[in-house]
Amino acid sequence: IVMTQSPLSLPVTPGEPASISCRSSQSLLHSNGYNFLSWYLQKPGQSPQLLIYLGSNRASGVPDRFSGSGSGTDFTLKISRVVAEDVGVYYCMQVLQIPFTFGPGTKVDIK
């Protein structure tokens, strides 16, 4: 399954919202009703960290300004109000079919 993201670069203003799109070449909707799509943030110099799993579930400790939505092949990660610590590269990943695959990443930085 091929994952694409847009935009690949996103300059943001603190306090403003931000949105990243992720698309898959096949539907990620499992027969159990869940979308097998997760989102990650890799901050500079760090390992990636899980933000969202099963399309829309926030991982433990993730601020509620992050939200995931979408179904099938089209997904969106939204940040309601960007703060400085949100800079880094955001990746979507499908975990429906082996091999699991990642999007190319969206680099978010402060304007």
Q: Which residues bind another protein (CB under 8 A)?
A: 34, 36, 38, 40, 47-50, 52-54, 57, 59-60, 91, 93, 95, 98-102, 104-105
Q: How far is the CB of 50 from another protein (least distance, A)?
A: 5
Q: How far is the CB of 82 from another protein (least distance, A)?
A: 23
Using DSSP, state whether 56 is helix, strand or coil.
coil
Using DSSP, state whether 86 is helix, strand or coil.
helix
Cβ distance to another protein smaller for residue 36 or 75: 36
What letter represents residue 28's amino acid? L
Q: How far is the CB of 49 from another protein (least distance, A)?
A: 7
Look at residues 95, 96, 93 and name the one whose alpha carbon lies nearest to residue 106: 93
Contacts of 33 (CB under 8 A, 6+ apart): none
Cβ distance to another protein smaller for residue 12 or 93: 93
